Structure 1
């Protein structure tokens, strides 16, 4: 596996920046004063589990598009399988994030862990860059930890 230093700067920086809503949401679950400030300043949708759940569903959908792009590099049956697999994260987010914040958070955790498996599959077939799994493991670990804070709070 590659090292963090092998990941191009733009994907690493953008990937880390994409963690901000998850980290912010987890911090506002842990710190009531920060949550109160966030509600007053940003509104209730942008704190606690709510920001993590809404943003998590968006990111799973975005990652479906990333996987679809990887599938375009394949041919015939591998491409068809890649296209079919690539829609799973978006469908998961659509169908599995109802039922309240605990259920939705647990479903998103499962969705991101499942996405990591799809990332590995696309990477294993040479459709993703060599550094892909190093980036995805890091980002997924942080996302899952943050969502777990919301689920377990």
Structure 2
């Protein structure tokens, strides 16, 4: 049995689904380095960029939902405003050339993770969420960096 209190443990379903969510990033990156039968490098690159935009929007939605809590109007307004920045960055990335798109996504994921982890440490989000975000951000960013390196080399 787990020695951590329930509030401290990453829920198994969140961890499993989160790790599964890294697979499209990894497939996109792998396709740019190794010939894959069903995923050409150009399609893998588009997969990584579009999926990254979707996931940044998803993360913003989590933060929008967290801002619904019993907070003062100023704090709530700031959180609502900040929560849409990932969606806007993702939308921009979808229309940019590969190198700036990937760079924007990498920056977006790192900034989102910083916000999530500091919020979890401050008690505004569950502690496990900060740990989960570090794991998942690592997988996403490593994949995006691999795509960026491959895109620069082309």
Query: TM-score under structure 1 normalisation?
Result: 0.84
CA offsets 1:28-47 (integer angstroms, 9 cap, x no match): 11102x1xx114xxx777x4
* Offset at residue 17 of structure 1 (A): 0.8
CA RMSD of aligned residues (A): 2.0
**Structure 1 residue 112, shift from structure 2 partner:** 0.5
Match of 2:147 in 1: 150
Number of residues of Structure 1 aligned to a counterpart in Structure 2: 143
141 and 22 in structure 1: CA distance in 2 versus 1, 3 angstrom threshold? same
CA change 1:152–1:44 in 2 (3 A) is closer
How many Å separate the matches in 1 of 2:70 and 2:82? Answer: 13
Partner of 2:47: 51
- The answer to whether structure 1 residue 73 and structure 2 residue 69 are counterparts is yes
For 1:98-109, list aligned pairs within 5 A: 98-109=95-106
Residue 19 (structure 1) aligns with:
22
1:137 aligns with 2:134: yes
Residue 92 (structure 1) aligns with: 89
Structure 1, unaligned stretches of length 5 or more?
A: none
> In 2 relative to 1, CA 105–152 (structure 1 residues): closer, same or farther, beyond 3 Å?
same
Shift in Å, 1:143: 0.6
Residue from 18, 30, 33 that aligns with 1:30: 33
Structure 2 residue ranges without an equivalent (≥5): none
